[in-house]
Amino acid sequence: MKDLDPLILLAVFQEMLGPLLWLLLAVVVLGLLAFVALLIREKELVSRRLVRSEAAGLLGGALALILMAKVSSSGFTDAAGPIDWFLIALVFGLGLVGSTILVYTVAGWLSVRSRQTYSNEKR
């Protein structure tokens, strides 16, 4: 395989994940759109919410590793070379960052919604 073809990668991921691939891609796209909309609305990052989201991101990284172990034919004990460990670290990092963004976004929109409900009740 001399060239890196995106369609081949898509076929490999489709074979490994099945319909879960499309669900994960939808969560990624919708989550990023909601995150950008939240940033535009609030015009800043809320540090307390970000720190709590980062803590939840650790769980997301671990869950990404569990998913990787389930869909691949090898386990963590089969990792021998540096590229294997790099891939494991990459999967953990992507799970951590993705779940941090998702948790931050959900907490942010819930906070916006509760503030609107609270201000409507005061009227």
pLDDT in tens, 50-91: 999 999 999 999 999 998 888 877 666 677 778 878 888 898
CA-to-CA dists, residue 105 to 40, 52, 75, 97, 100, angstroms? 12, 12, 32, 12, 8
Token pair in block for residue 72: 């691949």
Token pair in block for residue 85: 């460990």
**Which has more pLDDT, 40 or 8?**
40
pLDDT for residue 108: 93
pLDDT for residue 113: 76
What is the reported pTM?
A: 0.78
pLDDT in tens, 29-56: 999 999 999 999 999 999 999 999 999 9
Mean pLDDT for the stretch of residues 98-117: 87
Calpha distance 27→38 (Å, rounded): 16
**Which has more pLDDT, 20 or 78?**
20
Mean pLDDT for the stretch of residues 99-112: 93
φ/ψ of residue 80, rounded to 5: -115, -45
What letter represents residue 84's amino acid?
D
pLDDT for residue 76: 66
**Which has more pLDDT, 29 or 13?**
29
pLDDT for residue 98: 94
